Amino acid sequence: MKIPFTSAAQAFAGVAFASTALLAAQTPPANTGAALFVQNCAFCHGRDAGGGEEGPDLTRSKLVAEDVGGDKIGPVVLNGRQEKGMPRFKLADQEVKDLAAFIHEQKKLAESQKGGRRGVDAADLQTGNAEAGKKYFNGAGKCANCHSPTGDLAAVGSRLVGLRLEQQLLYPRGTVASVVVTLPNGNKLTGKLAFKDEFHIGIYDSNGWYHSWPVSAVKFAIDAPADAHAELLGQYTDDDIHNLMAYLQTLR
Ligand code: HEC
Ligand code: HEC
């Protein structure tokens, strides 16, 4: 299969909407927060509000943390932030309240999950020890295996501030796994992972074309370097994070 990037994106959008309809059909009270969220928000923020390609993780949002019954979430939803990619929605007061309740529920869930780590408060970001952070960076943290304070992380402390920096440290986003697919005839194709489940793998090649195969028909190797961060999460203590944050903030 070879179809241009845009129609692949549309095909994915189609899949998303089809499964949305399915889920809505399985969830009888269509006006609950969960159903509203799946219909209107999940496409960007993820089904569990944990963030997606197009929208941030709402379970770690400061605004959500400060929200009471939709008083902060409501204005964002009703007005949007259109220049930043958040559209505006016409919803009734009760619908906004239901949505807010759902988001708060997801936040609680995310925080209770094993390996889930609560965001540190903005005030905490100043409490670390930069020297200790530097030591951890070059030593036990193994950060220096992949990063350099004068290379890729140069000026990271100006580029990303506060909670945004911490979010990237804990859960780097915007990284795309690269894939090498070996076809039955031995040819290799390199690209960016577009899709993968038990049965199919899809990639975008360097020209933006989408290709997909049954997983049984090809060999492939997926390289997702940011996975290292997920593994590291279990090892950081809160002190390590505070110290690292203090250190990273000195990289300006
Ligand atoms: C087309 C993608 C898209 C859709 C659909 C969408 N959002 Fe967003 N949303 C965004 C983006 C992008 C931002 C970040 C805007 C910014 O950086 O200020 C955002 C921000 C937010 C924020 C503010 C988070 C913060 O910490 O400042 C809330 C709350 C929110 N969205 C809730 C919702 C809800 C509820 C829905 C469904 C009714 C929804 N969004 C639908 C893209 C989307
Ligand atoms: C095995 C490799 C690897 C290790 C080890 C690693 N990282 Fe990363 N890190 C990555 C990748 C890949 C990204 C995503 C790069 C990107 O978005 O451009 C990333 C992203 C980041 C970012 C966001 C950078 C940005 O420009 O947005 C920060 C900050 C960061 N890492 C800090 C750390 C720290 C601190 C450690 C050690 C505790 C660490 N990393 C360990 C691979 C690694």
- Answer yes or no: do 158 and 236 share one domain: yes
Note the pLDDT of residue 20: 35
Are 71 and 141 part of one and the same domain? no
Among 31, 38, 43, 44, name the best residue to mutate to test ligand 1's pocket (greatest count of ligand atoms within 8 A of Cβ). Answer: 44
Put simply, whether the predicted model's pTM sits higher than 0.95 gets the answer no
Whether 29 and 35 have beta carbons less than 8 Å apart is answered as yes
- Least confident range from 65-69, 169-173, 207-211: namely 169-173
Q: Which residues pair with 196 in a beta bridge?
A: 201
Whole-number average pLDDT of the chain = 77
> For the chain, what is the domain count?
2
Is 212 among the domain residues? no
Lowest-confidence region among 7-11, 106-110, 183-187: 7-11
Looking at residues 16-27, what average pLDDT do you find?
A: 35
Q: Are 77 and 10 in contact (CB under 8 A)?
A: no
Same domain for 244 and 130: yes
* Numbers of helices and strands, H then E, in the chain: 11, 6
Q: What is the pLDDT of residues 197-206, one digit of tens each?
A: 777 888 888 7
User: Whole domain around residue 85: which residue ranges?
Assistant: 31-112
Q: Which ligand is nearest to the CA of 244?
A: 2
Q: What is the pLDDT of residue 46?
A: 82
Average pLDDT on 32-40 reads 82
Q: Is residue 189 part of a domain?
A: no
Tell me what the mean pLDDT of segment 36-54 comes to: 81
The residue to which tokens 């930043």 are assigned: 84
Residues 145 and 54 in one domain: no
Percent of the chain at pLDDT above 90?
A: 27
| Cross-strand partners of 195 | 202
Q: Is residue 49 part of a domain?
A: yes
One-character DSSP codes across 23-53: HHHHSS-TTSHHHHHHHHTHHHH-TTSS--S
Q: For 100-125, how does the pLDDT look when each residue is reduced to its tens digit (9 = 90+)?
A: 999 998 888 877 764 444 444 455 56
Q: State residue 211's pLDDT score.
A: 82
- Do the domain assignments include residue 146? yes
CB-ligand 2 contact for 142 (6 Å cutoff)? yes
Domain final position from 86, 112, 138: 112
Examine the domain organization and report whether 162 and 237 are in the same domain.
yes
* Alpha carbons 147 and 144: distance in angstroms, whole number: 5
**Same domain flag for 132 and 243:** yes
**Does residue 195 belong to any structural domain of this protein?**
no
Q: Which residue lies with its CA nearest to atom 17 of ligand 1?
A: 84
From edge to edge, which strands make up the β-sheet containing 188-196? 2-3, 210-214, 200-205, 188-196, 178-182, 219-223
